[in-house]
Amino acid sequence: MTNKASGVRLRTRIWSILRAIVFICVIVFIWMGMAKTATAFVGIALVMGWVNLFQLRSQEIEKPYYRLWLNFIDGLLQFSVMTSIFVRELILQENTEKLLGVGCTFLLARLIANNLFNLGVLREGKSLPRKRRWSKFANIAVTITMGVYLLNLEDYKQICMVASILLMIASTVAYAYWYYRDPAHRKPLSIASQLTMSRIVLTPFFLWVFFYDNDLDYSNNSLVFKSLALIMVLGFMLTDFLDGKLARAMGEVSTLGKYLDPFSDKISNMTIFMCFIATGYAPVWMVALIYFRESSVETLRTLAASEGLVMPARRSGKWKTALQGVGIIAILVGALDPMAHVIPNYQEFWSIFPTAVMASITAITIISGVDYFVASKHILKKFV
């Protein structure tokens, strides 16, 4: 068994060295101006990375310090390739894409943080965690992004880079959670709670995607980022639906989840509504009323908890959440201008549509708030 493990380790090390040589060739071809040849070698590196991570499973059998150095060298070469692409574009083009520079920064930060944490873990005499799927897919996505930039595929550059950045952030957050939690005192977050947390973590990135072009007029934003904003909102809605279902199905209903779920909903939805204010899709007074209702109900829920009482979810609250989700999706879909060439006078229709949708959302939100307060008179009597 030992000889077999040693043989597998030797193969993975040789494979890793060959992948490093391929990346070095990519850097050379970039500076020689041979973009297509460099792209071909990136394709080879992509296949080799996939085999190394998913077939040979090098991360699971390699010795800790070898694994540390192999990861460092691979990450350093990925950063070097991406930086070479950025610097090359900076020299040859007047308007270099800023997002490429942001991606290089994330790669460097991830490389430094990951290796410092790994070194700290090894010095403490602990075993390194296996690479999770987030980290594996982040490495694959970064390699694909290299090829897209080398081929200068304008329609896919931004979406690939944003996907790579999001995957790098997700893998870093997952690693940080593993590193800082103490198994002796803390239980790992359930899958349902992880889904809930994902909405909180991704909400700031929705804000960035929504205003990527630094222009408050969302209508002239890139179609790629409009589509990405819509996909993120659909992801928010899906995780909101799944976290409760999974918690009940797996018997993982927790006090943390009961408070975290409505909190994450309000964080994500209120952020989206504030984006709508900025771009003119919603008047300030509507969002202010929605905020007033949400904060009032949360205050009521906190008062109930202080008395050891549980304020159950009301059907009106579920209708409110559903309508908010449908309304947000309707506005973001409309912003894509899908029917601009089909519906006559579409722009006139669109000039009132977002405000009408927000008016409906505001009305049901206020009605839901009144319903909660009427149903919670017994809680208010304890304080009034």
Q: Do residue 183 and residue 198 come from a single domain?
A: no
- The Cα–Cα gap between 134 and 115 comes to 17
In 3D, which of 149, 133, 72, 147 has the Cα closest to residue 107?
72
> Cα–Cα distance between 293 and 369 in angstroms, integer?
6
Q: Please give the pLDDT value at position 185.
A: 35
Q: Where residue 45 sits, what CATH number does that domain have?
A: 1.20.120
Residues 18 and 149 in one domain: yes
Instruction: Work out the percent of the chain whose per-residue pLDDT is above 90.
Output: 9
Cβ within 8 Å of residue 195, ≥6 positions away: 239, 242, 243, 246
Coil, strand or helix: which one is 253? coil
Q: Which of 264, 249, 270, 138 is nearest to 195 (CA)?
A: 264
Same domain, 184 and 209: no
Are 136 and 241 in a shared domain? no
Buried b (16+ CB within 10 A) or exposed e, 174-196: bbeeeeeeeeeeeeebbebbbbb
Q: Are residues 226 and 314 in the same domain?
A: yes
The DSSP letter of residue 335 is T
d(CA 83, CA 80): 5
Q: Which domain holds residue 352?
A: 194-384
Give how many domains the chain has, as a whole number: 2
Are 307 and 377 in the same domain?
yes
**End residue of a domain, out of 188, 204, 226:** 188
Tell me the C-alpha distance between 329 and 238, whole Å: 12
| Residues near 82 by beta carbon (within 8 Å), at least 6 away in sequence | 100, 103, 104, 107, 142, 145, 146, 149
Last residue of a domain, one of 134, 157, 188: 188
115 and 16 in one domain? yes
Residues 178 and 142 in one domain: yes
Residues 210, 108 within the same domain: no
Shared-domain flag, residues 241 and 257: yes
pLDDT digits (tens, 9 = 90+) for 54-106: 555 555 566 666 777 777 888 888 888 888 888 887 777 655 567 787 788 88
**Inter-helix orientation angle 133-150/64-92, to 10°:** 30
AA letter at 144: I
pLDDT in tens, 231-277: 889 988 888 777 777 767 766 666 666 667 777 788 888 889 988 98
Q: What is the pLDDT of residues 171-187, one digit of tens each?
A: 777 766 666 554 533 45
- Choose the final residue of a domain: 188, 210, 240: 188
In the structure, what pLDDT confidence band is assigned to residue 384 with cuts at 50, 70 and 90? low
Tens of pLDDT, residues 305-315: 666 776 777 78
Residues 339 and 222 in one domain: yes
Q: How many residues does the structure list for the chain?
A: 384
Residues 207 and 252 placed together within one structural domain of the fold: yes
Residue corresponding to tokens 């964080």: 267
